[in-house]
Structure 1
Amino acid sequence: MKGRSEIVAQRLALALPAALLAGAYVSQYGFGLFPCEMCWWQRWPHFAAVALALASFVIVPQRRVLVALAAGGILTSGLIGAFHAGVEYGWWEGITACAVTGTPAGSDPLEAILAQPTVSCSQAPWTLAGISLAGFNALFSIGGAIAIFALLAKKNRK
């Protein structure tokens, strides 16, 4: 039987990356904030975290391990977000060039690439109170991962 803290950790490990990915796609398709290369780097660990968290509901004997791995993916995304935010704020140089978004299916690839907006990793397309989307991802992901790890560790205390 799993404890209350493990249930909360499991649900948080699923809800947090799913919500952050949903926010990323709403900003991309709803508001035209196209992702740069480092934005994509932040999404991949969240995809893995969602898959691991979903698996934790099915693979019961390995639930805690899967939730901990999901938290590791969330933390990884947050650390990439922190690095990306530092690039946007000019604290250090990035390691990528500008990137273009994908090409639509059935179109001429060269024309589609030339028609796409170029997205620089060093310019934040949107901020709130001086915090960019990468900065928010870093705050929510790192904070959420710490909370998940703390909830998992709480069960071991007697």
Structure 2
Amino acid sequence: MSQAHLKNLGMLAGAGSAALLAAALTFQQMGYAPCELCILQRWPHLAAAIIGGLIAVLGWKRWLAFLGLLAALTACGFAIFHAGVELQLWQGPQHCSGGVGGLATMSTTDLMAALEKAPVVRCDQVAWSLWGISMAGWNAICSALLSGLWAACLRGRKRLGGPV
């Protein structure tokens, strides 16, 4: 692949993460408040979008493509974890999955304080889905596809046998 092609691939992958962020913010504007795990999934996409912008400015650099791949894989991992929490495959963080430890031993005052600190949006409940796939599930799918783009961007120059 040429340098220009690799640059375009990196910019496309970064733009994909920017589009996922824009979609998340659009859903938020429509009244779908994000849970803590939803917010966590946004950070790696922000990093990948910035990396795509750096590639646009600096040109293709192998280390930038590696960082983009790392960010996309991190987003994918967070999204898979969140989807698993929603599907009750494993337990999520207690403070955002409705768990309050030691209920039987809490005083009424302590219980009220714990409830006031509890997030409004729970991580283990699906707020929206399409074709039976939650937003976290769609993020996992899209993040996996973006990881593939970043991997192609990272591998591209190596195939040419050029400098790494």
TM-score by length of 2: 0.77
Paired residue type of 1:21: L
- Identify the residue that residue 51 of structure 1 maps to in structure 2: 50
How many correspondences in the alignment? 140
1:72 equivalent in alignment to 2:74: no
Alignment of 1:120-139 (within 5 A): 120-139=122-141
Paired residue type of 1:157: R
Q: 1 CA distance for matches of 2:13 and 2:143?
A: 10
- Identify the residue that residue 143 of structure 1 maps to in structure 2: 145
Q: Which consecutive unaligned segments of at least 5 residues does structure 1 have?
A: 100-113
The answer on whether the counterparts of 2:7 and 2:55 sit within 8 Å (CA) in structure 1 is no
- Identify the residue that residue 2 of structure 1 maps to in structure 2: 3
Paired residue type of 1:65: W
User: How far apart are residue 78 of structure 1 and its match?
Assistant: 1.1
- Identify the residue that residue 120 of structure 2 maps to in structure 1: 118
The answer on whether the counterparts of 1:78 and 1:141 sit within 8 Å (CA) in structure 2 is yes
Q: 2 CA distance for matches of 1:20 and 1:96?
A: 27
1:92 equivalent in alignment to 2:69: no
The answer on whether the counterparts of 1:9 and 1:152 sit within 8 Å (CA) in structure 2 is no
Paired residue type of 2:28: Q
The answer on whether the counterparts of 1:3 and 1:155 sit within 8 Å (CA) in structure 2 is no
User: How far apart are residue 3 of structure 1 and its match?
Assistant: 4.6
User: How far apart are residue 8 of structure 1 and its match?
Assistant: 3.4
Change (3 A) 1:96 1:53: farther
1:83 equivalent in alignment to 2:81: yes
Paired residue type of 1:125: A
TM-score by length of 1: 0.79
SS of structure 2 residue aligned to 1:119: coil
Paired residue type of 1:43: R
Q: For the pair shown, which has the larger CA radius of gyration, 1 or 2? A: 2
What's the Cα RMSD here? Answer: 2.2
